[in-house]
Structure 1
Amino acid sequence: MKLTIEGWDDGAPIPTKFAFGKIPAEGRFETSDNVSPAISWTDVPAGTQSFALICHDPDVPSSGEDVNIEGREVPASLPRVDFFHWVLVNIPEFTRKLEEGVASNGITPKGKPAGTRAYGDAGLNSYTDWFAGDADMGGNYADYDGPCPPWNDSIIHHYHFTVYALDTDQIDLPDNFTGPDALAAIKGHVLDQASYMGTYTMNRDLKA
């Protein structure tokens, strides 16, 4: 399989329009356009009955102790964990592209519900956990929400978009399933997969 995303070259920086947060003219943080990118795939293997799509960032700090705190920096040596930005299963077999903006076209305070879309079944991304307990933003965040790494992180984050071709037309998952739930459910059903990566930072000192 081959995967293509419109808007940046594989391995290049992700434009701010696809991000949740950006570096403002002044200050540390500003919300961005949070538009889901156009993503397409080709060379699908015979026997494919559906697709799954996962976008994750493996560079998220395992501890929030220093995150976004003035006078501190998130050290590169800190162990990192996965943060899921896009979780989608049961994409119909005939689908070869998701258009720009179909999964997100702005920031939705308190999130978007999980469930069936015209293009597949959307699960919860990790902003659900990130905003838990926040009176203004807390809620279920499903489908796509873009990059927003700590503005004081010492490393650039990497965002891996992966499409999986599956040998089944239906992955059964509970309501409000997560990225790890989806990955566990498709195990043993993957005929092929393809990935595309982009980088992003909100640290002025790392910004090219």
Structure 2
Amino acid sequence: MNSVNFTLNSPDITEGHFMAKAQEFDGFGCNGNNVSPELNWQGAPAGTKSFALTVFDPDAPTSSGFWHWLVADIPADAHGLARSAGKGSLPPGCRSFKNDYGSKDFGGACPPEGHGMHRYQFTVWALPEDTLAVPDDASAAVVSFMLHANALGKATLTATYAR
């Protein structure tokens, strides 16, 4: 997987730093604004025909982490997603998949109180096809499997959060 020049950045979140209350979930015991951050990427590998975006918390107290957002079929000419795109304003043609909150929108950070610092991995995936070969009702695990199996490259920005 060629990811050397493929980078992801954001004016709203910073690698290794604490996210703002704006990115906290509104529900599930949390009361944030549930706003997806603006995300920008560059340097996609040659042959990229679409992108996918995932947001994953590997520190969640589950056996399988916690999926906060899964989007595929982002057009190859896209170079990012606008702030609040996770509330239903994705580019035409994108498909969203159910997160672990049970919705297809962005679900912000909401680690259990007192559980310590959690990492939130925002990853953009460069794909060699226009459409990810999964059904619209695919689970997060299946989407993740297909991304790992097919990606030409990926770029990750990891922010943190605790309550």
TM beyond 0.5:
yes
Deviates more, 1:4-13 or 1:175-184: 175-184
Equivalent residue for 2:3? none
Structure 2: how far apart are the matches of 1:36 and 1:119?
Answer: 19
Residue identity matched to 1:81? S
Residue identity matched to 2:92? A
The equivalent position to 1:3 in structure 2, one of 3, 8, 13, is: 8
Equivalent residue for 2:144? 183
Structure 2: how far apart are the matches of 1:14 and 1:81?
Answer: 22
Identity of aligned residues (%): 30
The structure that has the greater radius of gyration is: 1
Provide, for residues 27-51 of structure 1, a one-character-per-residue CA deviation record: whole Å limited to 9, x for no partner.
xx55111001100100111110001
Provide, for residues 91-117 of structure 1, a one-character-per-residue CA deviation record: whole Å limited to 9, x for no partner.
11111010001112xxxxxxx8xxx96
TM-score, reference length from structure 2: 0.87
Question: Is 1:100 equivalent to 2:83 in the alignment?
Answer: yes
The answer to whether the 8 A contact 1:59-1:81 is kept is: no
Q: 1:103 to 1:61 in 2, by over 3 A?
A: same
Structure 2: how far apart are the matches of 1:60 and 1:81?
Answer: 8
Equivalent residue for 1:173? 134
Q: SS state of the match for residue 81, structure 1? A: coil
Q: Which residues in structure 2 correspond to 1:58-73 (within 5 Å)?
A: 58-62=58-62
Equivalent residue for 1:150? 112
The answer to whether the 8 A contact 1:87-1:122 is kept is: yes
Equivalent residue for 1:37? 37
TM-score, reference length from structure 1: 0.69
How many matched pairs? 156
Dislocated runs of 4+, deviation >4 Å: none
Equivalent residue for 2:125? 164
Equivalent residue for 2:48? 48
Provide, for residues 60-101 of structure 1, a one-character-per-residue CA deviation record: whole Å limited to 9, x for no partner.
113xxxxxxxxxxxxxxxxx5310001011111111010001
Structure 2: how far apart are the matches of 1:14 and 1:44?
Answer: 26
In the TM superposition, what is the alpha-carbon distance from 1:179 to its structure 2 partner?
Answer: 1.9
The answer to whether the 8 A contact 2:114-2:162 is kept is: no
Query: Which runs of no fewer than 5 residues in structure 1 stay unpaired?
Result: 23-28, 63-79, 105-111, 129-140, 203-208
Q: SS state of the match for residue 159, structure 1? A: strand
Deviates more, 1:184-193 or 1:82-91: 184-193
Question: Is 1:197 equivalent to 2:158 in the alignment?
Answer: yes
Equivalent residue for 2:96? 122
In the TM superposition, what is the alpha-carbon distance from 1:19 to its structure 2 partner?
Answer: 1.1
Structure 1: how far apart are the matches of 2:139 and 2:81?
Answer: 20
Query: Which runs of no fewer than 5 residues in structure 2 stay unpaired?
Result: 1-5
Residue identity matched to 1:169? D
